[in-house]
Chain A
Amino acid sequence: QVHLVQSGAEVKKYGASMKVSCKASGYPFISFGISWVRQAPGQGLEWMGWISAYNGDTKYAQKLQGRVTMTTDTSTTTAYMELRSLRSDDTAVYYCARVVGSTYAFDIWGQGTMVSVSS
């Protein structure tokens, strides 16, 4: 079965960095991209960016440019998302999701990682 399993909840201080992992299993890792999507409490879904598991190409949402870095480790079939200079509005549940086809649909999602940022 196809699974994406994310790392656990984190509490961070204002200005710190966070790094969430997303372990993929049950499919050929390099055949699909991974996107990261976040959801602030009580809010909608916000796309953060995408990484190709095949060659590491990335595309980030404009508002996060310069603060976010997405990477993959093909040896462990794990994707990572690092967000720096955290502020209170980065408090959210962070999801990784597998990207399929030219429709850019997200067919498999991780369980989500809650990250709380406090001063």
Chain B
Amino acid sequence: SYVLTQPPSVSVAPGKTARITCGGNNIGGKSVNWYQQKPGQAPVLVIYYHSDRPSGIPERFSGSNSGNTATLTISRVEAGDEADYYCQVWDSSSDVVFGGGTKLTVL
């Protein structure tokens, strides 16, 4: 089955850039979606199809994908960005797969 690997935690100071990685075998050949989940809330789609943003998602959120790593980048991080972030792909052998999640802490 297909596996997505995320770091458990990432810390960043306000105003700096946070990068959250998602590793998977040849993930660069797949479409990657990213979700933000705040405590007690449902997930919110922040990036789809590698780098597209749904309406209402700030331009500070961007995505990239190449080789075996996809990356969610959050520029000019704000306190309100503190949340869990999950990557997700569809794989022909495993159907929908989520990464284990990364807790973003804003220092």
Contacts and interface: CB of A to CB of B under 8 A. Distances in A.
Interface of A: 35, 37, 44-47, 50, 59, 61, 95, 97, 100-107, 109-112
Contacts of B3: none
Contacts, number: 62
B21 interface: no
B14 to A, nearest CB: 26
Contacts of B54: 107
Nearest to B98: A45
B48 interface: yes
Interface of B: 31, 33, 35, 37, 42-45, 48-49, 54, 86, 88-90, 95-101
A104 B98 contact: no
B86 A44 contact: yes
B11 to A, nearest CB: 19
Nearest to B94: A62
Contacts of B43: 37, 45, 95, 97, 106, 109
A46 B96 CA distance: 9
Contacts of A103: 31, 33, 48-49, 90
Contacts of B49: 101, 103, 105
A61 B88 CA distance: 15
Nearest to A45: B98
Contact of A47 (B45, B95, B101): B95
A35 B42 CA distance: 14
B86 A45 contact: yes
A103 B70 CA distance: 15
A97 B35 CA distance: 12
A104 B96 contact: yes
Contact of B44 (A61, A109, A110): A109
A50 B95 CA distance: 10
A44 B96 CA distance: 14
A101 B91 CA distance: 15
Contacts of B95: 47, 50, 59, 61
